[in-house]
Amino acid sequence: MYRVLLDRAAEKDLARLPSGIHARVIAVIQALGMNPRPPGCRKLAGSKHDWRIREGDYRVVYEIADAIRVVRVNRVRHRREVYR
Give tens-digit pLDDT for 26-71.
999 999 999 999 999 999 998 888 999 999 999 999 999 999 999 9
| Global pTM value | 0.91
Q: Is the pLDDT of residue 82 over 90?
A: no
Q: Where are the domains of the chain?
A: 3-78
For position 48, what pLDDT does the model report?
Answer: 86
Biggest CA-to-CA distance, the chain = 35
What does the pLDDT read at residue 68? 96
User: Looking at the domain 3-78, which fold is it?
Assistant: YaeB-like fold (3.30.2310)
Output 83 or 62, whichever has higher pLDDT.
62
Q: Which residue has the higher pLDDT, 4 or 46?
A: 4
